[in-house]
Amino acid sequence: MTLSGVYVPMITPFDATGAVAHAALRTLAHEVLDGGAAGLVALGTTGEPTSLDPAEQRDVVDILAGVCRERRAPLLVGASSVAAVTALRDQPAVAAALSLVPPFVRPGETGVVAHFAALAAASPVPLVVYHVPYRTGQRLSVDTLRRLAALPGVVGVKLAVGAVDADSVELLADPPAGFAVLGGDDAVISPLLALGAHGGILASAHLATAGFVELADAWRAGDVGRARALGHRLAGLSTALFAAPNPTVVKAVLHAEGRIPTDAVRLPLLPPDDEALRVALRRLATAPGTPVGARR
């Protein structure tokens, strides 16, 4: 399998009682697919998975798997342990697991490779490595990313290193065959696509979904002028959406638009201040690709 295009790591909306808002999640998933998203991600960081209990996590996966079956779209699920990946066996809509480089313990690059070899051997679905060193504390060299790409069952990487660095340039200059490089830092997705990234996993694409899809299509088609213009405008939107910890501003904007019932997040997150919301709404008003209207 080859992953490409824009994937939206879905937020988890909450209702006025604090419970997961099932209908709103289902509607929002349809909306971003209507906007051209290639697929969805369940239980990514944007979905606040550590604040959900096991039953809530199952509900989120079931809802998004149902939408993806209906729409024939791939679903990625955040799953970073043997227990988590084996639980995906009964979900035929799941195309891959998005698996985090082990955080905090900093096992070294050889340890990371050994970890993913064991995880891939146990997993019923392919793995996408989630490389986000500013969260995990573990950097990976280009050579290590290539070793990971060579593992059976590892099909891609969500590359979120905080910048377009020399390692990213080197990897994209000669990407491993059959290995998808998906950008994970929304504000720099345009230069990553220009360098040859296959797509992105972008929380910002809850808003202006069609604009992010158009951006990926423009770089793929070699329409440099159009892609540059789109990229500059969408980077401004992404910067505003990440002005406070993700997904607080995204949720606030979705609520302001009436697309989710509340802007609630769960601790340790707190809602953004009013100024962050105002700036994000101003950026959205001029961003390409307006949100698709809610299904009725």
pLDDT over 60 at 172, yes or no: yes
Best CA proximity match to 133, nearest among 173, 93, 160, 98: 160
CA–CA gap between residue 263 and residue 280 (Å, rounded): 14
- Confirm whether 128 is domain-assigned: yes
What is the number of domains present in the chain?
A: 1
- Confirm whether 254 is domain-assigned: no
pLDDT in tens, 226-283: 999 999 999 999 999 999 999 999 999 999 999 999 999 999 999 999 999 999 999 9
The catalytic position among 7, 134, 158, 251 is 158
- Confirm whether 159 is domain-assigned: yes
- Confirm whether 24 is domain-assigned: yes
CA atoms within 13 A on the CB side of 236: 14
pLDDT in tens, 189-233: 999 999 999 999 999 999 999 999 999 999 999 999 999 999 999
- Confirm whether 174 is domain-assigned: yes
User: What is the mean pLDDT of the segment spanning 20-39?
Assistant: 98
CA–CA gap between residue 113 and residue 136 (Å, rounded): 15
CATH (domain of 171): 3.20.20.70
pLDDT at 1: 67
Contact at 8 Å (CB) between 208 and 288? yes
Our answer to whether residue 7 is catalytic in this structure is no
- Confirm whether 154 is domain-assigned: yes
Phi and psi for 192 in degrees, rounded to 5? Answer: -65, -40
Our answer to whether residue 158 is catalytic in this structure is yes
pLDDT over 70 at 144, yes or no: yes
Q: In terms of residue numbers, what domain contains 83? A: 5-221
| Average pLDDT score, the chain | 96
Hey, which residues does 128 pair with through a beta bridge? 98, 156
pLDDT in tens, 53-85: 999 999 999 999 999 999 999 999 999 999 999
- Confirm whether 248 is domain-assigned: no
CA angle 72, 200, 247 (to 5 degrees): 95
Neighbours of 228 (CB within 10 A): 16
pTM: 0.95
The catalytic position among 7, 130, 134, 251 is 130
- Confirm whether 190 is domain-assigned: yes
When comparing pLDDT for 293 and 46, which is higher? 46
pLDDT at 294: 35
